[in-house]
Amino acid sequence: MYAYATHIDRLDDLAAAVDHIVYRHVATRILPEQYPLIGEKLLQAMKDVLQDAATDEVIAAWGEAYDALATLFIQKEQAIYQQEDQALTERLVRTNNASLLS
Ligand code: HEM
């Protein structure tokens, strides 16, 4: 999140890092519905650490940044899950066809 914030004007620089995280998330089967809880915990941790410095404005800005990044991850991860589903379905169809023909 910090790297994202510090590179906010140069998101292209982050593309490789994003792809790497997406790859790790897909490998561990992270799902879209897990993002809100992690976001909530992140903001709570920031409030705990920053205390008075965590004004509503600061927290709202981090919340927006998290949501934008989460949306990007969710989209990229969903695209890979769909490709995997498609590949699996095609393999099953091929296997079924082959066994029907034999
Ligand atoms: C915008 C939100 C998120 C960010 C910025 C983020 C960032 C990261 C990063 C930097 C890594 C380390 C990648 C590596 O170098 O191996 C990672 C791994 C991981 N993340 Fe996330 N993450 C996010 C959301 C989530 C959510 C919602 C979950 C669900 C509980 C999650 C679960 C994991 C797990 C289990 C790993 C370890 C995967 C492995 O075994 O290598 N992350 N994440």
| Whole-structure pTM value | 0.89
Question: So where are the chain's domains?
Answer: 2-76
Three-class DSSP labels, the chain: CHHHHHCCCCHHHHHHHHHHHHHHHHHCCCCHHHHHHHHHHHHHHHHHHHHHHCCHHHHHHHHHHHHHHHHHHHHHHHHHHHHHHHHHHHHHHHHHHHHHHC
Pocket of ligand 1 (CB under 6 A): 1, 20-21, 24-25, 28, 30, 34-35, 38, 66, 69-70, 73
Match domain 2-76 to its CATH number in 1.20.1300.10, 3.40.50.970, 3.30.420.40, 1.10.490.10.
Answer: 1.10.490.10
As a whole-number percent, the residues of the chain with pLDDT over 90 amount to 76
Which residue lies with its CA nearest to atom 15 of ligand 1?
21
Is 35 among the residues known to form the active site? yes
pLDDT tens for 36-89 read 999 999 999 999 999 999 999 999 999 999 999 999 999 999 999 999 999 999
What is the model's pLDDT at position 91? 94
pLDDT tens for 3-38 read 777 776 776 778 888 999 999 999 999 999 999 999
